[in-house]
């Protein structure tokens, strides 16, 4: 039996395209170091039995420079990555690492317990744990007899 869903189901690629457009429009100017046409940070999303796991490659980002928020099924991560202080451009012999401020949002594919979300940074990898919300049980609704 097909289950009717309100709105669109999770479609990462559509979300990605939308994100790319938005990033190009708003943030790209501040991310001059990102010349690979790749989104920053790249993320993976895994499904485990009782939680979803989002990982992001964020080398050099300190936890205090990172903000993770969730509201209404949309997870947002934003932050900044700075270069070494006091090093003028002419001192660089090679510059390949991305820097600047960035922000990304993801609509979550299913309901999660937003109060129980947790995030940690280790070795430049951000890991966000999203506990899956229990599937709501179907509830019987009594239909009153309007003729009574």
Partner 1 sequence: MTDEQPLAAMPGPAAEASKAEPQIVFTPPIDIFETEDGLVLLADLPGVSADTLELQVQDNKLTLFGKVRPPVGDDARLLHQEYRVGHFLRSFILSDEVDHERITAKLNHGVLEVTLPRVKRSEPRRIHVSSPG
CB of 44 to partner 1, least distance (A): 5
Rule CB under 8 A: which of 87-116 touch partner 1? 87, 91-98, 109
CA 125/CA 128 separation, integer angstroms = 10
CB of 76 to partner 1, least distance (A): 16
Which of these segments, 23-31, 70-78, 120-128, 136-144, binds partner 1 (CB under 8 A)? Answer: 120-128
Instruction: Give yes or no for residue 59 binding partner 1 (CB under 8 A).
Output: yes
Residue whose tokens read 């300190």 = 62
Among 59, 79, 82, which residue's Cα sits nearest to residue 68?
A: 79
Specify the residue, 49 or 145, whose C-beta has the smaller distance to partner 1: 49
Count Cβ neighbours within 10 Å for each residue of 29-62 and write b for 16 or more, e otherwise.
eebeebeeeeebbebebeeeeebbebebebeebe
Rule CB under 8 A: which of 7-36 touch partner 1? 10, 12
Burial of 127: CB neighbours in 10 Å, binned 0-12, 13-18, 19+: middle
Instruction: Give yes or no for residue 5 binding partner 1 (CB under 8 A).
Output: no
Give the bridge partners for 132, in sequence order: 112
Residue whose tokens read 């270069």 = 83
Which of these segments, 23-31, 57-65, 67-75, 130-138, binds partner 1 (CB under 8 A)? Answer: 57-65
> Where on the chain is the footprint of partner 1 (CB under 8 A)?
10, 12, 38-39, 42-49, 52-53, 55, 57-62, 83-84, 87, 91-98, 109, 121, 123-125, 127
């Amino acid at each position: 039996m097909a289950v009717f869903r309100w709105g669109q189901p999770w479609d990462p690629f559509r979300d990605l395209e939308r994100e790319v457009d938005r990033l190009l429009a708003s943030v790209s100017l501040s991310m001059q170091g990102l010349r690979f046409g790749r989104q920053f940070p790249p993320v993976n999303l895994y499904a485990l039995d009782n939680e979803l796991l989002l990982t992001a490659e964020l080398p050099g980002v300190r936890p205090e420079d990172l903000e993770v928020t969730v509201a209404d099924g949309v997870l947002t991560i934003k932050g900044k990555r700075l270069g070494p202080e006091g090093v003028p451009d002419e001192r660089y012999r090679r510059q390949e690492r991305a820097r600047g401020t960035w922000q990304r949002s993801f609509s979550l594919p299913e309901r999660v317990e937003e109060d129980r979300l947790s995030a940690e940074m280790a070795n430049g990898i951000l890991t966000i744990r999203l506990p899956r919300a229990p599937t709501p049980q179907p509830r019987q609704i009594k239909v009153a007899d309007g003729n009574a």
